[in-house]
Amino acid sequence: MILAALCPEDTADCDGVLAALVDRLSGQGGRAVGAVQLPSIGAARLMDLRLLPSGALLRISQDLGPEATGCRLDAGALEMAVAAAEAALAASPADLLVVNRFGRQEAEGRGFAALIGAALEAGVPVIVGLSPKFRRNFIEFAGDLAEWLPADAAALQDWWERTRAPV
């Protein structure tokens, strides 16, 4: 399957293994587009993305203060990340689309949702991180097209090699 999903209890576990997969692919001359999330910063738990393939950093969260309990996502910044990924995918063929999180925006048909479909339609493998909170939404989105992987570097590497194997 060319669509894979990681859904660990701690979504931070996605970040490191996705970044490592991207770095291995890049080291082998491959080209990944999309975004990987960097570790949260400080008590405000600000979220930054490393955009692929450029490496540019983009903050996608808002500091709502220490007492805030609502969603910190800056939907406009997320859409900027999506636009960058769309442009990168259109500019040159990609070997992989990386989506740091399938979250509320994607569950509602926004964010990276359309780009995931476009990449799959073009035959580009897609790997997605998600929180258990959005597992049901992702299943509704992907149906039985996704392979579920543990947030483990060896499992991701195995999946990657299988997606690239000649049929």
Which 8-state DSSP code applies to residue 97? E
pLDDT at residue number 10? 82
In one-letter notation, the amino acid at residue 90 is A
- pTM equals 0.90
DSSP bridge pairs for 51: 35
**Which residues of the chain are under the pLDDT cut of 70?**
41-45, 62-72, 165-167
Domain residues for 93? 3-164
Alpha helices (runs of H) in 3-152, residue ranges in sequence order: 12-27, 75-91, 104-107, 113-121, 135-142
pLDDT at residue number 80? 95
Give which of 27, 89, 4, 18 is closest to 50, Cα–Cα: 18
Q: What is the CB-side half-sphere exposure of residue 34 using CA atoms within 13 A?
A: 32
CATH number for 117 = 3.40.50.300
Q: How many structural domains compose the chain?
A: 1
